[in-house]
Structure 1
Amino acid sequence: MSATQSKRNIKWVEGLRGITSVLVIATHLARALDFWLFWPSDKKGVPPRWLQLPFLRIPWQGRIGVPVFAFLTGFVCAYKPLTLAYQKKNIPASLKSIARSAFRRPPRLMFPALIATVFSFILSCLGAYTASNHCDSFWVRFDAPDPLPFQMNVRRLFKSLLTTWTNTENKFDRHQWAMRPLLVGAFQVYIVLAATIGMRFKYRIVVHVLLITYWLMNVANLTETFGANLALGTLLAELSQHRPTQNFISAHQRILSYVVAPMLLLIGGYIGSYPHEHEDWMPWSNNLHKWLSDPAGDQSRGSIIVPLGANTGRRATSFFVQCVAISIFLSFSLQRMLSNRFLLWLGHHSFAVYLTHGTLLRTVGIWIVYGISGQPWEPAGKNEDGSQMEQMWLKPKSRMHKQVAVVVFTLVTYLAAWAWMKWVDTACARATMWLEKKVFDDEEEESRAGLAEKGFSSVNGNGSATRPTDAERGPPPP
């Protein structure tokens, strides 16, 4: 495959997004119905199940979806502006593309998120979350909105619509917590592009590497999840436009695809298998914990992957995602695999899956496992000494009900995602396009409306606005 061909093949982005949406469903099913999969074994001293072993545990243990979406945000937001600037040699068009993309990003995220929140609010008013409020899964109870009187529920709705974009809190759909960081991350990419678009290639690469290094050294919460992966996506978008890099990858494709990429996936997958908690229950996870978090054995320092004070689980998963991203970038074989038509379909519906699956899991999925009514259930009272009695929660009907719930919930989720893309997302796209046309000039030259706003409303013989002369422009403001 030639460098030009590989450079233009970015269908793998959609395929990777599709796989990630499936992993999001898998991890939330595990959280709801089998939380023990997040641990290296069910109990200390008990042999692990197959799905708790390294590598096999990655889809169920969580943490992987959002870092992948952050990487894809960095790559996709950067790819088109870079193509315009460095392949078509049109920096003004690139800057205009950045401006339009920055304008489109908020409504394309906010409109669908708002509709999903309102839909969850309606279900809450109808009592659809009763079973989730009463079930024995702590994670499901935490995610499900508590029943409130209608007026208080309405106030909670408007507060959630605001706080989704201020402090990431949404009581009707807690899975929307990642929306604000992804929106902010997209604007970080736009700022970096606008600031570096005129630099020479090697200096732009230095900027991206420095940004990745900064975010990995920063031990604040979620810096490795968002900042580092956003910057990596932008870096790989740059390298995908660089002909010498693509020629090198093409010339060494066999060793890159069959040696380097598998090694990266194996190393990253083992580190990314780090459990959610109870890492001391199994030798492999305990050794991994010591190597990553406390190599000196006295809590005096961390490792290159997990600096002292960083979240070990998120760092391990982020490292795995970065290994996956680099492997795909280097391997045309992986790119072709991810360009499969079915994976592209999954990727096209991934955002809709992200917005709908949580609500459907807390309703349809939980109804099948625990019953629709959420009864019989009684709130715990007080003991004779005045202390709080232990609350008894609803138990699953059977293992078979869980298995049926997994199948039905998955099918219903993708059916809902298909309907969402066909009607809801299309309407949101049209609304965004209408706003964009109202705000931006369509032509290379300023439109009559744009000039009229500046006070130049006269028209020439062709019916177009007359442009100001240099004398009319006057000096710039101080």
Structure 2
Amino acid sequence: MSARPNQRNIKWVEGLRGITSVLVICTHIARALDFPLFWPADEQNGSIRFLQLPYLRIPNQGRIGVPIFAFLTGFVCAYKPLKLAYQQGNIPASLKSVARSAFRRPPRLILPALIATFISFVLSSLGAYKAANRCDGYWVRFDAPDPLPFLENIGRFFTTSVTTWTSTENLFDRHQWAMRPLLIGAFQVYIVLAATIGMRFKYRMLVHTLLVVYWLVNVNPLTETFGAMLALGTTIAELSQHRPTQAFLTKHQRLCTFVIAPIILLIGGYIGSYPQEHEDWAPWSKTLHRILVDPAGDGSRGSLVVPRGANAQRRTSAFFIMCTSISLFISPALQKGLSHRFLIWLGHHSFAVYLVHGTILRTVGMWIVYGISGEPWEPAGKNEDGSNQEQIWLKPKSRSHKMAAILVFTALTYTAAWAWMKWVDTACARATQWLEKKVFDDEDEGKAGLAEKGYSHANGNGTAPRALDADRSQPPP
């Protein structure tokens, strides 16, 4: 029996978040241990591996984890205020919900990120990144903090703690680059909600649609990764509250689930398989490039999916995420599948996974593959003519060591994420809650709030506040 239009399942949001955290792990494993998975083949005119085929390559090639988090940020930030405003008809409560959410968002992101950065700083000071600094994986070396004397490392920690939120640069955990735009994006959603909360439905939808279009026609960096996905999340949250839309989807549930949603997913997945580079190494990716990126063959114009001057890889991934989001929205069966308790558990731990996985991969993961000591190691010197010699990097011990590293890394990451949520995240939540109680008035407006507004609280029950003597324009009777 299907749910009534105003009781639709939204647990799928947590399940999608859980799958996304797994995808983030997959892409960083590929980046660290098997980078050719980002290509359509290992070499030009070479054979294509199973995981390099369309659709199957999506988990390893990356580019979709952070945009999905952006979409979910837009959905989650908008859902409760919209529900208060349009299902319960309480616009003041909706605006207060926006205010409280806006207050909670910075400490709930900044405090855990700062703790994760500090842990990486401690490991760096102990020399835990030596193997990562010397391995033959370029992206591992790029992500790992370079060794510095202890006092300089302390200075780098304080600098990084600021630049994470000013320029997205975190030298101890480069995976935190997305934290700042996600924080800014949440406030983008809050502003849109506050500005449109009193509009009629069709005009609110017009605003959401224009925002999605605006960010997609904007070819500046990452507009499709954050701006468009945030606006899409707000749009889906809006439609989730619209009873006529939900009634229509309920009425045509079988058609949406078994026909429309699969077609959308197939089209989106094929386009989203566009490779990171070397798109001319396989016929299917070469065709995608010709149709989507360079239809004229001379770089003079783009397409609707990839406008001229836009990042082709991120645009195709954004298209896939939009198709996935729409398919989930119209298909109760997909929503139910994502509502499995295991996926919800993964989703509950997804933020912790995002914060801890990079540090574990660059330490324990690299220790297994390359050795803890990072030896033997010979720094590159100079040639007789004074030019720099080519650096010889450490090679993996064996394929079996890579497989062992993947298993240990994955198990350790989710164990650490469980511990993080049990202790660290709980402490951060309590600190944020304490701040919120100090800053905001209670529902019935506490004494401190009344006093700030010029009212005394000597009348007992607080329901009929009396003006303070110092603020009286007339003497007391």
Cα distance, 1:7–1:298 mapped onto 2, change above 3 Å: farther
- In structure 1, the partner of 2:55 is 55
Is 1:156 aligned to 2:156, yes or no? yes
Unaligned 5+ residue runs, structure 2?
none
Q: Which amino acid aligns with 1:457?
A: S
Question: Distance in 2 between the 1:122 and 1:425 partners?
Answer: 19
Equivalent residue, structure 2, for 1:90: 90
| Residue 310 (structure 2) pairs with residue 310 (structure 1) | yes
Give the partner amino acid of 2:71: F
Letter in 2 for 1:452: A
Q: Which residue of structure 1 lines up, in the alignment, with residue 342 of structure 2?
A: 342
Structure 1 equivalent of residue 232 of structure 2: 232
Deviations 1:357-387 (A, max 9, x none): 0000000100000000101101100011111
Conserved 8 A contact 2:211-2:231: yes
What is the match of residue 392 of structure 1? Answer: 392
Quickly say closer, same or farther: Cα 1:304–1:373, change in 2 above 3 A: same
Range moving further from structure 2, 290-299 or 23-32: 290-299
Residue deviations 1:229-258, cap 9 Å, x none?
100100010000001000100011111000
Equivalent residues in 2 for 1:25-174, closer than 5 Å: 25-174=25-174
Question: CA offsets per residue over residues 122-149 of structure 1, 9 Å max, x none?
Answer: 0000000000000000000000000000
Aligned to 2:320: 320
Counterpart of 1:60 in 2: which secondary structure? helix
Aligned partner of residue 400 in structure 1, secondary structure? helix
TM-score by length of 2: 0.97
Distance of aligned partners of 1:385 and 1:473 in 2 relative to their CA distance in 1, 3 Å threshold? farther
* SS of structure 2 residue aligned to 1:274: coil
| Structure 1 counterpart SS, 2:378 | coil
Q: Which amino acid aligns with 2:150?
A: F
Percent identity over the alignment?
74
**Contact 2:450/2:457 (8 A) holds in 1:** no
Deviation at 1:206, TM superposition (A): 0.4
The alignment's TM-score, normalised by the length of structure 1, stands at 0.97
Q: CA deviation at 1:307?
A: 0.7
User: Which residue in the other structure is 1:451 paired with?
Assistant: 450
Partner of 2:432: 432
In 2, the alpha carbon distance for the partners of 1:248 and 1:357 equals 42
* Contact 1:448–1:464 under 8 Å retained in 2: no
Which ranges of structure 1 fall in alignment gaps of 5 or more residues? Answer: none
Give CA-to-partner distance per residue, 1:430-473, whole Å, 9 cap, x none: 000000000001123x321012123323521436672559xx79
Structure 1 residue 2: Cα displacement: 4.1
Q: How much has 1:300 moved relative to structure 2?
A: 1.6
Letter in 2 for 1:223: T
Q: 1:264-297 CA distances to partner (integer Å, 9 max, x unpaired)?
A: 1100000000000010111111110111111122
Give the whole-Å Cα distance in 1 for the aligned partners of 2:422 and 2:466: 44
Asked if 1 retains the 8 angstrom alpha-carbon contact of 2:280 and 2:286, the reply is yes
CA distance in structure 2 between the partners assigned to 1:464 and 1:193 by the alignment:
31
CA 83–467 in structure 1, closer or farther in 2 if over 3 Å, else same: farther
Aligned mates of 1:6, 1:80 — CA distance in 2? 13
How big is each residue's C-alpha offset from its partner over 1:36-94, in whole Å with a ceiling of 9 and x where there is no partner?
00000000010110000100100000101001000000000000000000000000000
CA distance in 2, matches of 1:62, 1:463: 57
Moved over 6 A (4+): none
* Residue type of the alignment partner of 1:28: H
Code of the residue aligned with 2:360 in structure 1: it is L
Report the count of equivalent residues: 471
Contact conserved, 1:448 with 1:465, CA < 8 A, in 2?
Answer: no
- Structure 2 match to 1:19: 19
Could you tell me how far 1:7 is from its partner in structure 2?
A: 4.1
Alpha-carbon distance in 1 for matches of 2:399, 2:108: 40
CA RMSD, 1 decimal:
1.4
The residue type equivalent to 2:361 in the other structure is L
For 1:242 and 1:455, the matched residues in 2 are separated by 42
- The code of the aligned residue for 1:325 comes to S
What amino acid is aligned across from residue 172 of structure 1 in structure 2? Answer: F
State the distance in 2 between where 1:42 and 1:335 align: 36
The separation in 2 between residues aligned to 1:96 and 1:473, in whole angstroms, is 31
